[in-house]
Amino acid sequence: MKNGNPRGGSTAALVRKELYSYCISPVFYGTGVFFLLFVNIWLFYFQQFFARDMASLRSWFAAFPLAYIAVIPAITMKSWAEERRTGSMELLLTMPFSEWNLVLGKFTAAFGVLAVFLLLTVPLPLSILPLGNFDGGIILGEYAGVLLLGASATAMGLFFSSFSRNQAGAFLGSAVVLLTVTLINQISRVLNLPRFAAELCNFLSLSFHFESFSRGILDSRDLAFFILSTLLFLFLTTQVLLFRKWR
């Protein structure tokens, strides 16, 4: 008699497979280098961190949603699009895995890669904390925000990858949508929109919901938005897989 949870085991096996494929891909290393360079150049060159003489990393964390517009599509573009291109998606769908197992496995691996990139940014705040009276609680809140925002954006990227025929299409589709939902709140600041339209733009904007975290505030409404949007796009991805399985 075999012990253990076969579904949980299948998810873990898929996570290991995905992580291995990331580790042998040049895109993984190139994306990581781009992400680290982008956020640090943003802080020290564009924001003139030392010249501003402020004990705050808010301007640094503000660069993370912008970096995600390119980084997350690069991470997720191959997840399903590559399976379709090589024909291995049909094989996956015929194996004794539920659609949720497959989606959670892909999501866990992609989000794990993003978490590694974020972990590599930790030495910077640790190195500058002794230089001023920084609030460690605010920095932790900002990291919580970029993690939650990253989870939502990763689920969105996987969704677009699930119905793309190639990696380029998945990347472009995800990047355009992420650009839109990240910066859509800026429309209400530039244009004199009716109140309901401005509130709708803010509600749909990832960066708007990130603002409270950037101030070190854990707002339950923004927390619920990121969690529910992540679950929504994971669910939609399972529906795409079910459609492909039974069509």
Q: What is the pLDDT of residues 43-79, one digit of tens each?
A: 999 888 888 878 899 999 999 999 999 999 999 998 8
In a domain, 94, yes or no: yes
Position 9 scores a pLDDT of 62
* Residue 240 domain flag: yes
Asked, for residue 1, whether it belongs to a domain, the answer is no
Cα distances from 214 to residues 119, 146, 186, 218, 219, in angstroms, run: 18, 9, 17, 9, 11
pLDDT band at 229 (very low <50, low <70, confident <90, very high): very high
Name the token pair of 74: 């690069």
Residue 154, in any domain of the structure: yes
Is 137 a domain residue? yes
Tokens of 106: 């892909």
Cα–Cα dist 100/122, whole Å: 32
Q: Is residue 135 part of a domain?
A: yes
The distance of Cα 25 from the centroid of its chain, to the nearest Å, equals 19
**What's the domain range around 195?**
6-246
Domain count within the chain: 1
Average pLDDT of the chain?
89
* Average pLDDT of the residues in 14-32: 93
Which pLDDT score, from 0 to 100, does residue 243 have? 83
Cβ density class 91-117: b for 16+ within 10 Å, e for less:
ebbeeebebebbbbbbbbbbbebbeeb
Joined tokens for residue 201: 């733009």
Does pTM top 0.85 for this prediction? yes
Confirm whether 179 is domain-assigned. Answer: yes
* Distance, CA of 89 to CA of 98 (rounded, Å): 13
d(CA 83, CA 116): 24
Angle at which helices 99-119 and 220-246 pack, to 10 degrees? 140
Distance between CA 50 and CA 222 in Å, rounded?
Answer: 31
| Domain assignment present for 182 | yes
